[in-house]
């Protein structure tokens, strides 16, 4: 699992999409996964420039979406730094 260090809201929303990228492009490398200013930032790298463009645009979209998705429960909302139960 790529998002093992994150909460269930982000896992449910983004894990499958990240797995799909790895299935689609078996030669890519997961370089980093981090929480940055309340957003999920994922960086994949590829030796192929066209694939790199695809990876960057998909992960950019996930980053923007994560800014509006509660990491704790997956609900849409404003950017949240932490989940308040
Ligand atoms: Zn929540």
In a domain, 21, yes or no: yes
Within a domain: residue 54? Answer: yes
Q: Domain range for residue 72? A: 8-83
Q: Is residue 45 part of a domain?
A: yes
Q: How far is the CA of 28 from the centre of ligand 1 (A)?
A: 32
Annotate 15-73 with DSSP letters as a single string: HHHHHHHHHH-TT-EEEEEEEETTEEEEEEE-SSHHHHHHHHHHHHHHHHHHTTB-TTT
Answer yes or no: is 66 within a domain: yes
1 found inside a domain = no
Task: Please indicate, yes or no, if residue 58 is contained in any of the structural domains.
Answer: yes
Neighbouring residues of the ion ligand 1, judged by CB less than 5 Å: 70, 72-73, 83
Q: Is residue 46 assigned to a domain?
A: yes
Q: For residue 3, is it within any domain?
A: no
List per-residue pLDDT tens for the chain, 85 residues long.
Answer: 999 999 999 999 999 999 999 999 999 999 999 999 999 999 999 999 999 999 999 999 999 999 999 999 999 986 555 555 5
Q: How many domains does the chain have?
A: 1
């Amino acid at each position: 699992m790529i998002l093992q260090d994150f909460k269930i809201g982000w896992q449910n929303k983004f894990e499958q999409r990240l797995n799909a990228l790895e299935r689609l492009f078996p030669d890519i490398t997961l370089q980093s996964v981090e929480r940055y200013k309340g957003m999920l930032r994922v960086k994949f790298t590829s030796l192929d420039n066209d694939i790199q463009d695809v990876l960057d645009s998909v992960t950019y979209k996930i980053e923007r979406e994560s800014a509006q998705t509660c990491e704790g429960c997956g609900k849409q909302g404003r950017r949240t730094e932490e989940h308040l139960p």
